[in-house]
Amino acid sequence: MKRKQDSQAHIRQDRPIAAQLAKVAALTQIEVDFVPTPDQTAIKAYFSYLNQGAQPGHDVQHWLDSEAELIAEHKRTRELDSHKHT
C-alpha cells in the first residue's frame, strides 16, 4: 500500500511540469522560431532558484519556467517593435 501512495505523491509533484509542457506545446510558429540559448535559460533558472530560497529538487521546473519566460519576453518585444513600425 505504501508504494502506491509514494507513486501517487510523485504524480502530484509532476503536474506543474506537465502544465508547463502544455504551455510550451501551445506556442505559435513565431514563438517557436525563437529558442533561448541554454546559457540564457541557465542564468535565468539559476536566479529563479536563488530567489525562491535555493531549495533543491526543482531544477527542471526552474528551467521550464525560465525558458517560457524568455520566450514570452521575446514575444512582447516583437509585439512592441511591430507597433513602433506601424
Provide the pLDDT for residue 43: 97
43-82 pLDDT tens trace:
999 999 999 999 999 999 999 999 999 999 998 887 777 6
Q: Where are the domains of the chain?
A: 2-84
Does the reported pTM lie above 0.85? Answer: no
Higher pLDDT, 7 or 41: 41
In this predicted structure, the answer to whether residue 6 has a pLDDT above a threshold of 90 is no
Classify residue 50 as exposed, middle or buried by CB count within 10 Å of its CB (0-12, 13-18, 19+): exposed
Alpha-carbon gap, residue 68 to 35, rounded angstroms: 10
pLDDT band at 19 (very low <50, low <70, confident <90, very high): confident
pLDDT band at 18 (very low <50, low <70, confident <90, very high): confident
